[in-house]
Amino acid sequence: MAPEMTYDREAGAAYIHLSQSRIDDTVILETSSITLDINLDVDAANRPVGVELLGLAQAEPEQLLRAIASGYVADLLAAAGYEIPRLRGNPAISVRHIS
């Protein structure tokens, strides 16, 4: 499954869908950003299901895609022990707007 990102401008949130597995737990990642929070949803086997980006009131989807392409999000996930190759190297991510 290619990653898909849903984006909600009003909520200042985006979600990158990585799999169709059932979410069993959420890992809150430590970031050095004052404005960006990143949560990782995992399944019962601790495999990534999706990545939630919060605090994006002023960000446009293109900015988020650039942050993903730069490796910033993948680096934060890797630092927490979750290497997700599909989020490295300018991945193809489709964007669906919610609001």
pLDDT tens-place string over residues 2-55 = 788 898 888 888 899 999 999 999 999 887 766 778 899 999 999 999 999 888
The structure's pTM equals: 0.85
| Phi, psi dihedrals of residue 80, rounded to the nearest 5° | -90, 5
Give dist(CA 70, CA 37) in Å, integer: 17
- Asked whether 16 and 4 are in contact (CB, 8 A), the reply is yes
pLDDT, tens digit (0-9, with 9 covering 90-100), for 15-24? 999 999 999 9
Residue from 74, 83, 13 nearest 47 by CA: 83
